[in-house]
């Protein structure tokens, strides 16, 4: 039984304004105003100091959020960039003299350069190498700061020139410099999340392999993302150094700075714009509390460590997403979920003029696979296989299960390296190119089991692909403007426009197939590889899929289609290539292939069922 | 020349200890795809336990591995079941952050129990050396290094010869397949984690004789061990051995020929240089991620 207040609480439905944007921006505005006005309102140095430190951590956390929250790569060395900035300012101001207005930006550049160098080493590999190298990097810098005495004065540290302004406003310049840096950091984070670059970073977090196939040059994205994560942090570190007027290796390269930054991102909500800032303003007061009331040192470790473990285990998405989810749940309670309601509606299939005549097959070869082989241990998945796809055709690639069709797709789009042989596309040899280069050359590919970026909306999924690698493309607005309009056109074409703001994970399988097609079309590819476009979807949708393929073909797109639905594929495609045991077994028109005894044998006969597979060691 | 040979042998002995400590880390990564950032804290914990036993009853610290190994095995099993088990299949970033949090908690607890001062375990043979020809080899280094290699050999035999070892390797290569042939993958993960932590226990006892330690030492250790497994190729046990010996030799060579204060830096720099040439480490190949078929 619930007590009366508890019952009232559990049945409480927040009014509309609670989750409205106006409230959110009102709260943020009020907090910003308070922080901006605080030094004018109060002379309390203790709280000014606490806010200054919170600002430093908020800048660190907003930066870290770009590579960790958007890109999905955790860095345990974010604090090192505060140290780098502090040391840059300290060394330059003590050795060269000069003005903070010069050295603070220089510190940002130095931090960015170090991040670029570390990124070049760590970001070419996938997975855990990066997080490990960030720790190693932090300790390496600390050791250098301790040992390179001529430059850093060792463990004794460097004392920086004291400010010359009036003591009445002693903290103001630091305070407002950091506030300004935080505003710029948040603006950058906001802008990145809106651009094609930001979409690319998030898609790397969601599925790095898939991201490569839609043209995203993942190492460059990750390195740029890492640099963006650190530049303002380096500048904040420099201001922090001037504020302390003293830097030493143990303070500046203390791993607890990193801990506090990570905890801020994690607690506030990684991947959100305001979460890291909120987190920083929670964690720093907590830090002060642990230091002053719990005895510092070990208590601080227990608080930070314990909190980090608890957040990971029980609130992995952080405060901001947790609150918005809670409000969303309350608001939609008793009704069908907002998402479910909308998804229940049948897809409107627009009547389209279906061209009767297929595009003229130019007779030129667009894709040629020459003598390609791929082995998995002793199994020859693809073995001296060769065929051509004529430009302007809808070519089918059929064959029994396990005949190597999908593996061939993986070799053509570069998801897997081939062992031997050549792949030629549009007159160029592409088999040594990385997947994103092949995508830029004009190869688009869908997957048998759809691979959308699950936490991104439908529109974001479609707008993420990159047609060519240019900075202007990266910086292009993805949420509005020409890129978004084009994505909407494509969604309209596949009949999914009304789902543009739904997360991809909420779509049915068939709907995902349609969105994935739109996503590939965003690349404007010359050749589209479709892996079982008709698999697992209903007959109406199959028909619709066929119509779309014909229409795209009439506009000049060439298709290579793997499919098991024979009426569908034989009605749609010409020519047909038949694979068997990784080799080209037969090819020709649909009629020729249907009459071919070897094909009939492979599909209907006992050849594959009974004869044991010869597996070589 | 004598100096060079002596440095080389010392480097190999140091590398042997590193190899034992890194083996648990790389094993846990290979099987569970978890970077156990708390590995350094666990080994310092084992060193402190060794210290306390040695102070209390005078047990030889190297014999202490008979106690620390099983104690840390149980500790690892409990930690796994209380924390990691909940997010075993979650994103890799989560496990990194969780184990990092655990490391901080263990560091704080050690600080409360033993204090934040440097500790050392001085065995009776602490200041003695073997003299072979013109070589001077400190007994503690020799005993420690050899013992580490013996424990490592035992671990290797367990992994290659026992049912548990086969189950662990099966779960590492193909979890679904292992589950299909009757391997309880979750239980195997718990056992793997426990074995990995136990090896940190044995290594921690040995390290307590060779190095002074305090709760905060675990950062240096974890970054060194992570450097080793990245250097060798992540998840590969032979890679960990090669990485450890390389790093051990690089460190002792730096002490002898450059300067002791740079000894900890040079190996890190080495890690960066190797990765510049081979992004996936010496023995590492890019893991074949299962491309959806």
DSSP secondary structure string, A28-54?
HHHHHHHHHHHHHH---HHHHHHHHHH
DSSP at A65: I
Q: A305 to chain B: nearest residue by CA?
A: B101
Domain boundaries, chain A: 45-261, 385-608
- Name the CATH superfamily for A385-608: P-loop containing nucleotide triphosphate hydrolases (3.40.50.300)
The SS3 of residue A381 is strand
User: Which residues lie below 8 Å from residue A174, measured CB to CB, with a gap of 6+?
Assistant: A52, A239, A240, A242, A243
| The pLDDT of residue B276 | 79
The SS3 of residue A611 is coil
Nearest by CB: B289 against A73, A138, A209: A209
Nearest by CB: B268 against A76, A139, A447: A139
Instruction: Choose among B238, B226, B237: nearest CA to B268.
Output: B226
Q: A74 to chain B: nearest residue by CA?
A: B93
Q: Is A560 left (phi over 0), alpha (psi -120 to 50) or beta?
A: beta
To test the contact with chain B by mutation, choose from A75, A146, A308, A405 the residue with the greatest count of B C-beta atoms within 10 A, namely: A308
Which parts of A42-128 fold into alpha helices (H)? 45-64, 78-95, 100-122
Contact B62, B206 (CB under 8 A): yes
| The pLDDT of residue B201 | 95
Q: B288 to chain A: nearest residue by CA?
A: A416
Q: A143 to chain B: nearest residue by CA?
A: B265
DSSP secondary structure of B207-235 = HHHHS-B-GGGHHHHHHHHHHHHHHH-TT
Q: Do A140 and B230 touch (CB under 8 A)?
A: no
Q: Do A143 and B265 touch (CB under 8 A)?
A: yes
Instruction: Give dist(CA B135, CA B43) in Å, integer.
Output: 31
Q: Binning pLDDT at 50, 70 and 90, where does residue A604 land?
A: low
Please check the confidence at residue A15 and state whether its pLDDT lies above 70: no
Residues A322-366 have pLDDT tens digits of: 888 887 777 766 554 444 334 444 444 454 444 445 555 566 889
Partners of residue A580 on adjacent β-strands? A583
Residue A188 has a CB neighbour count (10 Å cut-off) of 17
Nearest by CB: A447 against B104, B279, B292: B292
User: Which residues lie below 8 Å from residue A526, measured CB to CB, with a gap of 6+?
Assistant: A366, A391, A426, A442, A443, A557, A558
Q: Do B287 and A127 touch (CB under 8 A)?
A: yes
| The pLDDT of residue A510 | 87
Residues A454-483 have pLDDT tens digits of: 989 999 999 999 888 777 778 888 877 888
Of the given ranges (A38-42, A504-508, B94-98, B267-271), which has the lowest mean pLDDT? Answer: B267-271
Please check the confidence at residue B286 and state whether its pLDDT lies above 60: no
Report the C-alpha dihedral over residues A516, A519, A523, A525, rounded to 10 degrees. 30
Contact B211, B61 (CB under 8 A): no
User: How do A558-562 and A394-398 pair as beta strands?
Assistant: parallel
Residue B187 burial by CB count (10 A; 0-12/13-18/19+): exposed, middle or buried? exposed
| The pLDDT of residue A525 | 93
- The predicted model gives A548-570 an average pLDDT of 90
Partners of residue A562 on adjacent β-strands? A397, A531
Nearest by CB: B234 against A128, A146, A310: A128
Residue A220 burial by CB count (10 A; 0-12/13-18/19+): exposed, middle or buried? middle
The SS3 of residue B143 is helix
Contact A565, A542 (CB under 8 A): yes
Residues B1-47 have pLDDT tens digits of: 788 888 999 899 999 999 999 999 988 888 888 889 999 999 999 99
Give the 3-state secondary structure percentages of chain B, helix then strand then coil, rounded to 5.
Answer: 75, 5, 25
**Average pLDDT along chain B:** 86
**Average pLDDT along chain A:** 86
To test the contact with chain A by mutation, choose from B279, B281, B282, B288 the residue with the greatest count of A C-beta atoms within 10 A, namely: B279
Six-digit token pair at A367? Answer: 């894709």
Six-digit token pair at B235? Answer: 């998840």
Please check the confidence at residue B198 and state whether its pLDDT lies above 80: yes
| The pLDDT of residue B18 | 94
| The pLDDT of residue A46 | 87
- φ, ψ at A382 (rounded to 5°): -130, 135
Please check the confidence at residue A609 and state whether its pLDDT lies above 70: no
| The pLDDT of residue A138 | 92
Please check the confidence at residue A121 and state whether its pLDDT lies above 90: no
The SS3 of residue A296 is coil
The SS3 of residue A104 is helix
| The pLDDT of residue B285 | 55
ipTM: 0.88
Instruction: Choose among B174, B136, B199: nearest CA to B288.
Output: B174
**Contacts A–B by Cβ distance under 8 A:** 157
């Amino acid at each position: 039984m619930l007590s009366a207040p508890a019952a009232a609480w559990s049945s409480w439905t927040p009014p509309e304004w609670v989750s409205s944007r106006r409230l959110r921006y009102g709260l943020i505005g009020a907090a910003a105003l308070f922080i901006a006005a605080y030094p004018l309102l109060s002379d309390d140095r203790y709280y000014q100091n606490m806010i200054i430190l919170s600002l430093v951590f908020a800048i660190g956390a907003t930066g870290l959020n770009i590579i960790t929250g958007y890109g999905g790569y955790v860095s345990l060395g974010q604090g090192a960039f505060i140290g780098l900035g502090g040391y840059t300012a300290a060394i330059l101001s003590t050795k060269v003299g000069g003005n903070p207005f010069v050295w603070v930006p220089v510190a940002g550049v130095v931090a960015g350069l170090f991040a670029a160098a570390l990124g070049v080493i760590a970001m070419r590999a996938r997975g855990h190498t990066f997080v490990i190298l960030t720790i190693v990097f932090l300790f390496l810098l600390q050791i250098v700061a301790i040992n390179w005495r001529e430059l850093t004065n060792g463990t004794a540290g460097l004392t920086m020139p004291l400010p010359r302004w009036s003591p009445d406003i002693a903290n103001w310049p630091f305070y407002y410099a950091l506030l300004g840096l935080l505003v710029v950091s948040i603006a950058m984070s906001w802008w990145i999340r809106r651009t094609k670059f930001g979409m690319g970073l998030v898609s790397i977090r969601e599925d790095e392999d898939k991201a490569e196939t839609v043209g995203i040059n993942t190492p460059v994205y990750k390195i740029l993302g890492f640099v963006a994560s650190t530049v303002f942090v380096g500048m904040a570190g420099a201001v922090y150094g001037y504020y302390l007027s003293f830097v030493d290796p143990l303070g500046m390269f203390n791993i607890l700075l990193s801990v506090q930054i990570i905890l801020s991102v994690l607690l506030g909500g990684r991947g959100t714009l305001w979460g890291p800032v909120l987190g920083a303003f929670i964690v720093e007061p907590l830090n002060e509390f642990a230091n002053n009331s719990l005895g510092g040192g070990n208590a601080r470790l227990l608080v930070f460590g314990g909190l980090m473990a608890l957040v990971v285990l029980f609130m992995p998405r952080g405060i901001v997403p947790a609150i918005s989810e809670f409000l969303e749940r309350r608001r939609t309670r008793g009704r069908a979920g907002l998402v479910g309601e909308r998804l229940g509606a049948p897809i409107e299939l627009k009547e389209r003029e279906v061209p009767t005549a297929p595009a003229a097959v130019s007779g030129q070869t667009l894709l040629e696979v020459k003598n390609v082989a791929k082995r998995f241990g002793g199994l020859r998945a693809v073995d001296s296989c060769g065929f051509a796809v004529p430009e302007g055709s809808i070519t089918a690639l059929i064959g029994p299960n396990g005949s190597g069709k999908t593996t061939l797709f993986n070799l053509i789009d570069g998801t897997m390296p081939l062992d031997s042989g050549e792949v030629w596309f549009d007159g160029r040899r592409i088999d040594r190119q990385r997947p994103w280069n092949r995508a830029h050359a004009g190869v688009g590919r869908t997957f048998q089991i759809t691979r959308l970026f699950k936490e991104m909306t439908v529109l974001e999924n479609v707008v993420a692909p990159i047609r060519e690698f240019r900075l202007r493309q990266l910086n292009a607005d993805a949420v509005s403007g020409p890129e978004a309009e084009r994505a909407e056109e494509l969604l309209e074409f596949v009949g999914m426009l009304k789902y543009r703001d739904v997360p991809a994970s909420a779509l049915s399988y068939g709907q995902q197939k349609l969105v994935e097609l739109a996503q590939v079309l965003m690349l404007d590819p010359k050749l589209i590889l479709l892996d079982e476009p008709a698999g697992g979807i209903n007959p109406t949708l199959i028909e619709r899929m066929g119509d779309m393929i014909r229409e795209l073909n009439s506009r000049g797109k060439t298709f290579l289609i793997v499919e098991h639905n024979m009426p569908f594929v034989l009605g749609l495609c010409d020519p047909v290539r038949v694979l068997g045991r990784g080799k080209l077994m037969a090819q020709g028109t649909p009629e020729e292939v249907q009459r071919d005894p070897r094909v009939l044998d492979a599909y209907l006969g006992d050849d594959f069922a009974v004869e044991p597979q010869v597996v070589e060691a | 020349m004598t100096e060079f040979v002596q440095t080389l042998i010392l480097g190999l002995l140091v590398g042997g200890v590193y190899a034992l400590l890194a083996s648990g880390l790389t094993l846990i990564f290979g099987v569970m795809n978890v970077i156990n950032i708390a590995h350094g804290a666990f080994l310092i914990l084992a060193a402190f336990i060794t210290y306390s036993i040695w102070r209390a009853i005078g047990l030889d610290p190297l014999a202490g591995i008979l106690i620390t190994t099983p104690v840390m095995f149980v500790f690892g099993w409990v930690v796994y079941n209380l924390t990691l088990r909940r997010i075993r299949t979650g994103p890799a970033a989560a496990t990194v952050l969780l184990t990092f949090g655990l490391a901080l908690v263990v560091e704080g607890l050690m600080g409360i129990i033993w204090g934040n001062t440097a500790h050392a375990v001085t065995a009776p043979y602490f200041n003695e050396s073997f003299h072979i020809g013109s070589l001077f080899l400190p007994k503690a280094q020799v005993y420690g290094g050899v013992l580490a290699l013996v424990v490592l050999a035992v671990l290797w035999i367990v992994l290659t010869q026992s049912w548990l070892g086969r189950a662990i390797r099966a779960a590492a290569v193909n979890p679904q397949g292992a589950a299909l042939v009757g391997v309880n993958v979750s239980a195997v993960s718990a056992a793997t984690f426990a074995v990995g932590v136990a090896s940190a226990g044995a290594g921690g006892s040995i390290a307590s004789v060779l190095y002074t330690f305090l709760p905060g030492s675990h950062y240096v250790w974890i970054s060194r061990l992570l450097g080793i497994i990245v250097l060798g190729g992540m998840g590969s046990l032979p890679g960990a051995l090669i990485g450890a010996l390389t790093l051990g030799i690089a460190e002792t060579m730096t002490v002898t020929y450059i300067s002791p204060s740079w000894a900890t830096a040079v190996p890190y720099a080495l890690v960066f240089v190797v990765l510049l040439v081979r992004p996936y480490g010496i023995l590492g190949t890019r893991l074949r991620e299962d491309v959806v078929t």
